[in-house]
Amino acid sequence: MSLEATTTGTAPAGAADFVRLLKPRVMSLVLFTAFVGLMLAPGDIHPVIAAAALICIAVGAGASGAINMWYDADIDAVMARTKDRPIPAGRIAPGEALGFGVTLAVGSVVTMGLLVNPEAGALLALTIAFYVFVYTMWLKRRTPQNIVIGGAAGAFPPMVGWAAVGGEVGLGALILFAIIFIWTPPHFWALSLYRTGDYEKAGVPMLPVVAGTAETRRQIWLYSLVLIPLTLTPQLVGMAGWLYSAGALGLGVWFLALAWRVRGGTDGETRAPKRLFAYSILYLFLIFALLAGERLAGLSV
């Protein structure tokens, strides 16, 4: 990892730069999926303990983002989408970002283990370690399957939230994990279709760089075909009811329609991938919101 490009900036770091290190947009989705996992888990949890668990998950996610930005500062500096991040822009020193991330990571895991339960603390530690060591340091620069395997890191949070309630990971938690795990490839590959030049310049072997855009579009379609039926399984295990399933089916039909447009696209066409990428974020949020809303309304057990 070369950090030569990270010392050219002159503006001093502000609070906003440290917040940006935490990847707040990613953190917000992580926090929401963890909250839904906590809400759907069987058993009771004191509201104060639940709040502590969610804060630890949010801080752990932010810590992962900060360490990721430290390690990826060299490739961030050459990508248009990321070149203004605090480290490549020179507003935060690499070592400062690393220390910030590690401190938050250790603090979040220890606090989770002591205030919530050891199982949730261990699972949070696994989530952070997987994102940092498996995805960021090992997979991202070595294989076009980086997003497929590395997607597990983003799928762990609802399991952590679930474990915070009773110290166990049940079938429902595994289903929530699977939904995010299968959602991740079409979500990120849609982004990579209109950012292929950036990834190629940075030497990141995303699927369209290695296998071409046609194969990427095909893979997006295949994963989407698996994702939609998977989102209907919560009702089969008694975790959701008909209201959720009807909403998930409607959202899924539109997801498939957008994925089909991507499937039939051509090289250089960016409108369909951009639409799918934007919708995929809303889609995941709404799927989990339906699960939570149905439970809050007392329409599912």
CA nearest neighbour of 128 among 37, 67, 49:
67
Low-confidence ranges of the chain (pLDDT < 70): 1-12, 300-301
pLDDT of residue 5: 39
The phi and psi torsions of 142 (rounded to 5 degrees) equal -120, -25
pLDDT of residue 268: 77
CA nearest neighbour of 94 among 13, 201, 153, 198:
13
pLDDT of residue 67: 98
pTM: 0.93
pLDDT of residue 6: 41
pLDDT of residue 264: 93
pLDDT of residue 289: 97
Whole-number Å distance between alpha carbons of 257 and 252: 9
Measured from the Cβ of residue 19, the count of other Cβ atoms closer than 10 Å reads 13
User: For the chain, what is the mean pLDDT?
Assistant: 93
91: exposed, middle or buried (Cβ count in 10 Å: 0-12, 13-18, 19+) = buried
